Amino acid sequence: MAKIPLPAVDRLCSIYGLLEKLEAQGTKAISSGEIGRNINATNATVRKDISYLGMPSVSGRDYEVKKLKGHISKALQLSKPRRACIIGLGRIGTAILAYEKFKNEGFEIAAGFDLSINKIERIVTPVSLFQISDLEAVIRSRGIEIGIICVPPEAAQNTADKLVSAGIKGILNCSAAVISVPEKVILRNIDYTTYLRVISANISLLKR
Amino acid sequence: MAKIPLPAVDRLCSIYGLLEKLEAQGTKAISSGEIGRNINATNATVRKDISYLGMPSVSGRDYEVKKLKGHISKALQLSKPRRACIIGLGRIGTAILAYEKFKNEGFEIAAGFDLSINKIERIVTPVSLFQISDLEAVIRSRGIEIGIICVPPEAAQNTADKLVSAGIKGILNCSAAVISVPEKVILRNIDYTTYLRVISANISLLKR
């Protein structure tokens, strides 16, 4: 199979998420145009991304939801289970902690961390909670590969550094700070403000 | 100014968010390569996106953070204030409700909605809260342009339909459902699972 370019990997994951929801809603087939509209890419980009999967071509026909999903999962090894942890148990952190959908997707939230022992004792969850000082030991002993950073911005880089020295493989940064990690660590950022800005810009440009 | 292609609009908003955080952290200049690494696009894509802004070329030189930010803001009309509302006051909805950063970015959360009157009375927030039955009237009377959907998946499409008939211009869908809206309504989806999947796929592919 051809090497899949990195931006295509991200889009294929978005397509996978879309297909999964469509499957749950009972949809059997979808066109590349409809996929593009949902993940906000052009028809041509969607077809190109899917071409990397080495699927038989279905020119002019819709993609079968189930089949396409299977090909993406195989190419990106999405069936591999992974353990993640959440660092920072404020509002967003505890909301993610309670996010039950992860389990069905092969992601196990295996630990939560906070500075405040008071918070750790107060939060009711089946997930094991620890103080930040236990971060490295717990990540190593539980085989945690992904860290979800939900700490205040001023603590984000320090948290990332600790995750990196504990051998973390990927970081989802939900804090409002830019963090730097070595190239071998996969980093993605979630920012609600950016999403609102994207919507706002598109509203303005639609009027032109 | 040339028409900016839609996927470039989204990336320019991500670049804007990055520049804003860099500015807050005291960084004065950044290369297209560093921008690309942060927003997960190639160097060439970043340069191409920036070329749509009609800025004087700075071949081989870093971009000035403040100047580039100003050009993006002007091209995408990001300084225009917008009112948004949150529908569904569960964990994610209330976390977003408390997100203070929006205010500084020109986004005002002007209302929150939930089915449960009990929840509306219990939540402590400066934001006005209403029952879902008031959705259309409140959106119209308060000039709300963006709806943030945080309801359970089975209620998402119905919520979107109500927002559309109230004249909403943009929707941020944080529910775990695919929703359909007319083409004139801007729609973006946030899905934590997709982000974890992106990280997982990249971890797998890094090893090849």
Render A68-118 in DSSP notation, one character per residue.
Answer: HHHHHHHHTTTTS-EEEEEE--SHHHHHHHT-THHHHTTEEEEEEEES-HH
CATH 1.10.10.10 location in chain A: 6-75
Residue A208: pLDDT band with limits 50, 70, 90: low
pTM of the model: 0.90
In whole angstroms, how far apart are CA B171 and each of B14, B95, B96, B105, B174? 18, 18, 14, 18, 9
Chain A: give the shortest CA distance to residue B133, in Å.
25
Residue A187: pLDDT band with limits 50, 70, 90: very high
Cβ partners under 8 Å of residue A69, min gap 6: A16, A19, A20, A23
Residue A126, CA atoms < 13 Å, CB-side half-sphere? 6
pLDDT greater than 70 at residue B54 = yes
Residue B80: pLDDT band with limits 50, 70, 90: very high
Q: Please tell me the predicted confidence (pLDDT) of residue B3.
A: 84
What pLDDT digit, counting tens, does each position of A82-129 carry? 999 999 999 899 999 988 778 888 999 999 999 999 999 999 999 999
Q: Do A95 and B99 touch (CB under 8 A)?
A: no
Average pLDDT over residues B158-182: 95
Q: Tell which residue, A28, A69, A62, has the closest CA to residue A47.
A: A62
What pLDDT digit, counting tens, does each position of A10-22 carry? 999 999 999 999 9
Contact map slice: A 15-74 vs B, CB within 8 A:
16-18, 21-22, 25, 38, 40-42, 45
Cα B41–Cα B46–Cα B52 angle in degrees, nearest 5: 140
Q: Please tell me the predicted confidence (pLDDT) of residue A58.
A: 63
| Amino acid letter, residue A93 | G
pLDDT greater than 70 at residue B184 = yes
Residues of A in contact with B80 (CB under 8 A): 200, 204
Tokens 């090894």 identify what position? A77
DSSP tag of A200: H
| A60 CB burial (10 A radius; 0-12, 13-18, 19+) | exposed
Tokens 């005002």 identify what position? B108
Residue A5: CB atoms within 10 A of its CB come to 13
Contact map slice: B 113-172 vs A, CB within 8 A:
145-146, 153, 169-172
What pLDDT digit, counting tens, does each position of B115-151 carry? 999 999 999 999 999 999 999 999 999 999 999 999 9
CATH 3.40.50.720 location in chain B: 82-193
Chain A: give the shortest CA distance to residue B70, in Å.
14
Q: Please tell me the predicted confidence (pLDDT) of residue A99.
A: 83
Residue A42: pLDDT band with limits 50, 70, 90: confident
Q: Do A201 and B77 touch (CB under 8 A)?
A: yes
Q: Do A200 and B146 touch (CB under 8 A)?
A: yes
Average pLDDT of chain A is 92
Distance CA B200, CA A169 (A): 9
| Residues B82/B110, Cβ–Cβ less than 8 Å | no
Q: Using CA of residue A71, residue A76, residue A81, residue A83, what is the dihedral sign?
A: negative
pLDDT greater than 60 at residue B1 = no
Average pLDDT over residues A22-35: 93
Q: Please tell me the predicted confidence (pLDDT) of residue B132.
A: 96
Which of A41, A76, A193 faces B201 most closely, judged by CB atoms?
Answer: A76
Residue % of chain B over a pLDDT of 70: 96
CATH superfamily of B82-193: NAD(P)-binding Rossmann-like Domain (3.40.50.720)
What pLDDT digit, counting tens, does each position of A137-168 carry? 999 999 999 999 999 999 999 999 999 999 99
Give the domain A6-75 fold.
Arc Repressor Mutant, subunit A (1.10.10)
